[in-house]
Amino acid sequence: MMRRRTTLLTGCTALVLALGATACGGGPVSAGGGDKALSGQTVTVAGVWSGTEQKNFQKVLDAFTEKTGAKTQFTSTGDNVSTVVGSKIEGGNAPDVVMVPQVGVVQQFAKNDWLKPLSKTAQQSVDANFAPVWKNYGSVDDTLYGLYFKAAHKSTVWYSPDALAQAGVEPPKSYDDMLKAGQTVSDSGLAAFSVAGQDGWTLTDWFENVYLSQAGPEKYDALATHKLKWTDASVVEALTTLGKLFKDKQLIAGGQKGALNTDFPGSVEKVFGPKPEAGMVYEGDFVAGVARDQFGKSIGEDANFFPFPAVGGGKAPVVSGGDAAVVLKDGKNQKAGMALLEYLATPEAAAVWAEAGGFLSPNKNVDLASYGDDVTRATAKSLVSAGDSNSVRFDMSDQAPAAFGGTKGAGEWKLLQDFLRDPSDPKATAAKLEAAAAKAYEGQG
């Protein structure tokens, strides 16, 4: 069971427990002390977020300012964080803190000697508030550099309750039952699934859930680090399983061509928009934000999810993604930057965004009451419980070198789009994936 603790601590107890500060003894306090110790300083922060996500993160930064007096300045990098940050470092304009969305990029930054290890205070908070798996993903060669502040639960299948009710089907418990339910939905007049094939990253998420359940966590870990080749029989089996879905024109809205012309927001629209074309869409918990904010759906009533079901005899998968905060050595205000990380490590900081919505925290001491609806609370509980049991696995493509796992029109993204277009030869696709992976890992050094 997930351990819970009330987020809203008060007075000196809050400072000592949440921040390891010495506020009660009259000594200096770290982030969150509330004595404006960082007044006059500015922390520059870079991350991929824009739009609503950026606005909600700004609320967290504003809470940090309220406590410490330090101003903050956020810059959106777009998807290619490593290139943008590298350019800023070369130009002598490095941000103090970067929110990094990929394990592989944290590792790259550390190997480039760009990162400061987390302070003792931040490390103590990580030990107290996070499952070891998150510490592992934030560490390189046993040194902790990254603090996972925002997480994504990528093992959720979202559906229209009306669509399933009209078809007379219940949320399925197995992958085979999900395909059978999809056929029944299709027979009732809607396609079963909306697939965002235009965005290659969604296809990697499909593969990872099938692979983790079917092949198991040990092989998942080995494939994620390229200790297992993509030509392994387990990869071919997972592609074969996925191919059964991809090639069934009844199951996918618009067929393969339609899927390849559908981006992620469009895939959500096809289920929850004004003219539904499908009953279900697979993607992470962030589907809820699009359904609610863009299409006015009430989460839990007009839009709901079931866990990505177990494949074959495997266990139901829990795949996660996340954004890790790191402090750059070349930043002009490293001390204040580290103070921000110390604040982000607290349940209090996570609760700010949790209350704003569109957010999950891997911090196991965030009060579930901070989340705005029962569906989000259930998703957050599932994610944290999986972390406690060590059954959660980080997005595989995000662990790979960007050339293989994170580049539009290249590597795994492109090859899985090609496989969606023609899923007839899983073995040949596995060979292409291995060739691309080998090249990318060799290039990484």
Domain boundaries, the chain: 11-153+320-388, 156-317+412-444
H or E element, residue 194: strand 191-194
11-153+320-388 CATH? 3.40.190.10
Q: How far apart are CA 346 and CA 344, in angstroms?
A: 5
Query: For position 389, what pLDDT does the model report?
Result: 84
Using CA atoms, how far residue 231 sits from 207, 238, 434, in Å, is 15, 11, 6
Q: How far apart are CA 221 and CA 442, in angstroms?
A: 19
The 10 Å Cβ neighbour count of residue 382 is 20
Query: For position 67, what pLDDT does the model report?
Result: 95
Q: How far apart are CA 128 and CA 186, in angstroms?
A: 48
Strand partners, 158: 281, 305
Residues in Cβ contact with 437 at an 8 Å cutoff, skipping those fewer than 6 apart: 226, 229, 230, 400, 404, 411, 412
Query: For position 36, what pLDDT does the model report?
Result: 80
Query: For position 270, what pLDDT does the model report?
Result: 98
Query: For position 407, what pLDDT does the model report?
Result: 85
Identical topology for domains 11-153+320-388 and 156-317+412-444: yes
Which strands, in side-by-side order, build the sheet including 191-194?
Answer: 191-194, 278-282, 156-159, 304-307
Query: For position 9, what pLDDT does the model report?
Result: 31
Q: How far apart are CA 221 and CA 223, in angstroms?
A: 6
Q: Report the DSSP pairing between strands 319-328 and 97-100.
A: antiparallel
> pLDDT digit of tens for each residue in the chain (445 aa)?
332 222 233 333 333 333 333 333 333 334 444 568 899 999 999 999 988 899 999 999 999 999 999 999 999 998 778 889 999 999 999 999 999 998 989 999 999 999 999 999 999 999 999 999 999 999 999 999 999 999 999 999 999 999 999 999 999 999 999 999 999 999 999 999 999 999 999 999 999 999 999 999 999 999 999 999 999 999 999 999 999 999 998 899 999 999 999 999 999 999 999 999 999 999 999 999 899 989 999 999 999 999 999 999 999 999 999 999 999 999 999 999 999 999 999 999 999 999 998 899 999 999 999 999 899 999 999 999 988 888 889 999 999 988 899 888 999 999 999 999 999 999 999 999 999 999 999 977 6
H or E element, residue 151: strand 147-153
Cα-trace Rg, the chain:
22
| E runs forming strands in 308-399 | 319-328, 393-394
Of 397, 443, 435, 395, give the one whose Cα is nearest residue 229: 435
Of 216, 164, 169, 221, give the one whose Cα is nearest residue 190: 164
156-317+412-444 CATH? 3.40.190.10
The angle, 0 to 180 degrees and rounded to 10, between the axes of the packed helices 334-344 and 51-68 is 110
Q: How far apart are the first and last CA of the chain?
A: 41
| 162-182 per-residue burial string, b: 16 or more CB within 10 A, e: under 16 | ebbeebebebbebbeebbebb
